[in-house]
Structure 1
Amino acid sequence: MSLLTSLYDAHLTIGGHPIAWREIVGNLFGLASAVGGMRRRVWAWPVGIVGNVLLFTVFLGTALGGHGAPLFGQAARQVFFVAVAVYGWYRWRQARTGADAPAIVPRWATGRERMVLLAGAAIGVVFCAWLFTQIGAGWPAPGWYYVADAWIFVGSILATFAMARGWVDFWLVWIAVDLVGIPELLYFQYYPSAVLYAVYAGFVVWGLVVWLRAARDEAPRVDEPRAKAVGV
């Protein structure tokens, strides 16, 4: 038990600010998962799950006796990430046509699918902002915090779901999440996660270009049988 406690509490101190090794390692797993997702490899999902578990313990912060303010949306999304990752892992395994082949053929969401995403985002942010306000009642936080954390939570879930479906749109959702997530993490001094979010921002643009090319070059022709792809 003492070994587990030591591993849990292990941290670096930079400029007088403690940074948990769990935050660093969890974000490295997250980055590896993002690389796998861009390459459309099934292993991206289980690797991401490991990172999600580590980051869950980080973002609860003082609620679990650790360092840092408790970011409820950041913590809660790790739980849902695991659930959606299991779904994505299953879908990509089912869609894969060969051991070395990409798991899916990307495509844009249809108009109807996009409207469902937008409606889910609006309803989810309103509800989660209210819920996080109730959970964090009494914790001194700026007025924008709960809305920002609600969007990070809801947007992350929608992006991961869209990725599981093979929709190119998920990269655009991630850009919107990063634009809110980076300032929030810097404000609450989660510096490794903020740095990784900044790296993600550039990586997401690259991933969007890669998936756009794949959607264009690998899409089945109208005179050919439809390819086996996620969401088709």
Structure 2
Amino acid sequence: MSVPEAFDRALAALNHPLFTLGQDAVSWAELAGFVTAGACVWLCVRATVWNFPVGIANNLFFLVLFWSTRLYADAALQVVYLALAAAGWWQWRHGGEGGERRVGRASPRQLAWLLALLVPATAVLTATLTAAGDAAPFWDALTTALSLAAQWLLNAKLQENWYLWIAADVVYVPLYLVRGLDLTALVYALLLVMCLVGLRDWRRIPAPVTPAATEATA
């Protein structure tokens, strides 16, 4: 068997329906994405570095799932997440003074830059995805932009990442319901709750505003 044939068989196996949930024929990829997404966010809430390897597994499962349902921006986002997860893994382990990075808070300047970039990023992605035949170009673009900004803040271990994840999840739930991905919509509803818990718990951790050295990377 050639490598392309083996790859095609693996994709077919991951997309094979296991059971039906509402209008959703749940596949191995979607079920595995459900489990790893929940585990990843729970580990983030606990502020443990192990969220990154679990998150990488989640990216691979969701890459297969989203590509098969023509949510191309979400699929491409998983590839970007792989690179960001690797960078975040290193940052959490070695990016702080004397070793592991501590939970901090974003500066007003960092937040202003991120919010200023969200609008043009969403506009460009919407136009690109419309041309590519994406199933929901604007909403897919908006959640992509929000998620990338949230991941950047998470990599820097800044509390404000939770606000952007919450905003993205509020859009993701109805988006996946419309696409017939009922289990994935349920995943994101649960993730929304977990993000609210994460925001509460991280806000209880005393942390100064991000130092200038970190701000310079914004």
Q: TM-score, normalised by structure 2?
A: 0.85
> Alpha carbon RMSD of aligned pairs, Å?
2.5
Equivalence for 1:42: 49
Distance in 2, matches of 1:49 and 1:183, equals 25
Q: Alignment partner for residue 120 of structure 2, among 123, 148, 167?
A: 123
Residue 3 of structure 1, CA deviation: 6.7
Deviations 1:105-133 (A, max 9, x none): 22221111001110121111011001101
Equivalence for 2:13: 7
Equivalence for 1:223: none
Distance in 1, matches of 2:46 and 2:73, equals 28
Equivalence for 1:19: 26
Q: Work out which of the two has the higher radius of gyration on C-alpha atoms and give 1 or 2.
A: 1
What secondary structure, in the 3-state scheme, does the structure 1 residue paired with 2:105 have? coil
Runs of 4+ in 1 over 6 A off after TM superposition: 96-99
Distance in 2, matches of 1:5 and 1:187, equals 24
Residue 96 of structure 1, CA deviation: 6.6
Q: Alignment partner for residue 101 of structure 2, among 100, 104, 120?
A: 104
Distance in 2, matches of 1:231 and 1:7, equals 44
- The answer as to whether partners of 2:24 and 2:183 remain within 8 angstroms in 1 is no
- The answer as to whether partners of 2:106 and 2:159 remain within 8 angstroms in 1 is yes
- Asked whether 1:30 is paired with 2:29, we answer no
- Equivalent AA in structure 1 for residue 194 of structure 2: F
Distance in 2, matches of 1:3 and 1:117, equals 41
Equivalence for 1:66: none
Task: Describe the shift of the 1:95–1:11 C-alpha distance in structure 2 as closer, same or farther (beyond 3 A).
Answer: same
Unaligned runs of 5+ in 2: 1-5
Task: Describe the shift of the 1:131–1:95 C-alpha distance in structure 2 as closer, same or farther (beyond 3 A).
Answer: same
- Equivalent AA in structure 2 for residue 191 of structure 1: D
- Alignment map for 1:146-165 (pairs within 5 Å): 146-165=137-156
Percent of residue pairs bearing the same amino acid type:
27
Equivalence for 1:190: 181
Equivalence for 1:86: 86
Unaligned runs of 5+ in 1: 62-68, 221-225
Task: Describe the shift of the 1:96–1:189 C-alpha distance in structure 2 as closer, same or farther (beyond 3 A).
Answer: same
Q: Alignment partner for residue 170 of structure 2, among 168, 179, 182?
A: 179
Residue 146 of structure 1, CA deviation: 1.2
- Equivalent AA in structure 2 for residue 108 of structure 1: R
Equivalence for 2:3: none
- Equivalent AA in structure 2 for residue 91 of structure 1: Q
Aligned pair count?
A: 206
Q: TM-score, normalised by structure 1?
A: 0.80
Task: Describe the shift of the 1:159–1:192 C-alpha distance in structure 2 as closer, same or farther (beyond 3 A).
Answer: same
